[in-house]
Amino acid sequence: MSNDRRKGFITKEILRDSIKESFVKLNPKYMIKNPVMFIVEVGTFITLFLTIFPNAFGETGSNLHLYNGIVFFILFVTVLFANFAEAVAEGRGKAQAESLKKTRKDTKAKLIDKNGNIKIINASETKKGDIVLVEAGDLIPNDGEVIEGLASVDESAITGESAPVLKEAGGDFSSVTGGTKVVSDWLKIRITATPGESFLDKMINLVEGASRLKTPNEIALTMILVSLTMIFLIVVVTLYPLAKYVGITIPVSTLIALLVCLIPTTIGGLLSAIGIAGMDRVTRFNVIAMSGKAVEACGDVNTLILDKTGTITYGNRLAAEFIPVGKHTEKEITRFALISSLKDETPEGRSTIELANKLGVQVNADEYKDAEFIEFTAQSRMSGVDLKNGTKIRKGAADAIKKFVMDLGGKIPDDLDKVTTKIAGIGGTPLAVSVDKDIIGVIYLKDTVKPGLVERFERLREMGIKTIMCTGDNPLTAATIAKEAGVDEFIAEAKPEDKIEAIKREQAEGKLVAMTGDGTNDAPALAQADVGLAMNSGTTAAKEAANMIDLDSDPTKILEVVEIGKQLLITRGALTTFSIANDVAKYFAIIPAIFSIAIPQMNVMNIMRLATPQSAILSALIFNAIIIPALIPIAMRGVKYRPMKAEALFTRNILIYGLGGMIVPFIGIKVIDMLINPILKVLNLG
């Protein structure tokens, strides 16, 4: 991942641009998209009018002009803070977009015409279906599929990883991305995207927020907030004539302050920022979500369907055990297997050395520097070493080692076939080891489960998410891997259509399903799944079918993506709970302040013992303003997610953000009241 994506949630540049954008967003045409804050802005304009014309509604009172001016200023700052929260979230996306735009240079493309001639054109002139040649040092002009050649491609501009990726025609690694660089050899590429619609262009639009649409949950929550706002608006508007009827004159600016404090301004100001930040967290994790809905869907996932190879296991068969045969010991087979692997650079060879060392068996490699090492070939199906003293050590396929030993006049141990058959039966690979004409044991190679997966699958279970492993292995092998990894279910000897059937079966039960894939044969299942995570190294078909793309091509990342989705939903729910709970304290601050002078009995509700009505109203209003920027870090980073059942999570959030949302304002408003009361007395407003 690039360093830019690792920076803190706000930089000096983002801060500067966000402050400027906060004022730009004051445009009513923009503000009306956020109904809650639009009401606050309307109230701000009314109090500005009353500041200039304090007696416009026939109100009288000492220093009414100053009081209205203070209310106006606090409301104005409240709107700015809400705009600032959204601007910070957007600013982070724009900063990422700028770094991506640097890779989108006006490069040249070597277009191959129908006659095979090469014509140099601008990359922006390429069309879907064009064939282009890219050689070492060239930037790939646009997204495409490799149709000829094999080359290393530097994708660091997209993924942030410096290691080049091998691309070749056919298979699952033929897709290339515009803006990446060929570092060796050459490729012929068929362009699959029109200019302006490439993968890089889509990434820039998404991280800038240009393509961000409100998700269904966000729309539903907005409707609830609007409903609450309308209810309080009606209550406050009817309060004015009712107060007049009983002989109480309430300043319009005070009524506006009451309305602003009672409507859910906190979550109204942070809601958009939470959604943008959710996509931003996924992007910083090197995953591109094609929509906010995809990120949100991750939070609702009930079932994960995972490939075995590359996701649950490494895909390379590694040494897991040394098994002696005949009258030989484990120490013997371990030592000779180690010697035979000293110059074996294959994953099997390196894992044999690692396992031997882990078992406490080591040799001095310098003692064997003059030995003749025999490399593995497809014809011999074995490798090994000939020592200076004439000893021949071999390891390889059991039948190849048998033939080698028998040609030397040796005998086959009686238990060899039993050991090799048992290993093969559980999906492992047996490598026989011989010393001269004697077979001394077998190396058990297995497809190793990635470390830490057992704990991660347990965390998913705590979230209520079921895991299903798909593999082409036989049922016995599949069962062994599934048990070791800790998945809930497995599908053995799985074909591409079996994945689709598994997804449909889970969806028919009302569950949301996520899966990963990289090949063309995965595309139908990725499209069927509610969350489809495609690998960036995969085919164009897979990436087009998915709604999320992992730039690092790490299939296990789906586990973290699900947690980020859950964190987004929890953050939104927690801050909504906190915002609504806030209103309780503000209610007890403002209502007694409005009526206590005319109705002294109302003072019994002044449980915070606020100094004066004006001090109470302004304290509540100030707290209402400053709580928005105070919560921006939580909105940006998200509420810390801990795997637990929905009931436990609900209880925890009610206690922390519900109860906390009521207690914090009581403390905050009281502290502000104590600070501003002396100032109000000096201004003759106390």
Residue 656: both structure tokens together: 């922390």
Q: What are the pLDDT digits (tens) for 210-235?
A: 445 566 777 888 898 899 899 989 98
Answer yes or no: is pLDDT of 5 > 50.
no
What is the three-state SS of 548-585? EEECCCCCCHHHHHHHHHHHHHHHHHHHHHHHHHHHHH
Fold of 316-448: Calcium-transporting ATPase, cytoplasmic domain N (3.40.1110)
184 annotated among ligand-binding-site residues: no
Q: What percent of the chain has pLDDT over 90?
A: 25
- Please list the active-site residues: 307
C-beta of residue 318 within 8 angstroms of C-beta of residue 451:
no
Answer yes or no: is pLDDT of 502 > 50.
yes
**pLDDT computed for residue 650 by the predictor:** 78
pTM for the model stands at: 0.67
Domain boundaries, the chain: 12-95+207-283+563-614+631-680, 127-194, 304-312+450-551, 316-448
**Distances in Å between the alpha carbon of 308 and those of 14, 45, 556?**
42, 61, 10
Fold of 304-312+450-551: Rossmann fold (3.40.50)
Q: What is the mean pLDDT of residues 537-549?
A: 78
**pLDDT computed for residue 622 by the predictor:** 94
Burial (CB < 10 A; 0-12, 13-18, 19+), residue 378, is exposed
378 annotated among ligand-binding-site residues: yes
382 annotated among ligand-binding-site residues: yes
Residue 150: both structure tokens together: 């094999």
Q: Which amino acid is at 633?
A: P
Q: Between the ranges 33-37, 176-180, 213-217, 306-310, where is the mean pLDDT highest?
A: 33-37
For residues 514 and 500, what is the distance between their CA atoms, to the nearest angstrom? 12
31 annotated among ligand-binding-site residues: no
Q: What are the pLDDT digits (tens) for 29-60?
A: 989 988 999 999 999 999 999 999 888 777 76
341 vs 214, more confident: 341
566-587: string of b/e by CB count within 10 Å (b at 16+)?
Answer: bbbbbbbbbbbbbbbbbbbbbb
395 annotated among ligand-binding-site residues: yes
Q: Between the ranges 80-94, 286-300, 499-513, where is the mean pLDDT highest?
A: 499-513
Q: Which residues share a beta bridge with 544?
A: none
**pLDDT computed for residue 524 by the predictor:** 86
> Residue 445 is inside which H or E element, if any?
strand 438-449
Fold of 127-194: 2.70.150
348 annotated among ligand-binding-site residues: yes
Answer yes or no: is pLDDT of 151 > 60.
yes
What are the DSSP E strand ranges found in 325-453? 372-374, 382-386, 392-397, 429-435, 438-449
Fold: same for 127-194 and 316-448: no
C-beta of residue 491 within 8 angstroms of C-beta of residue 510:
no
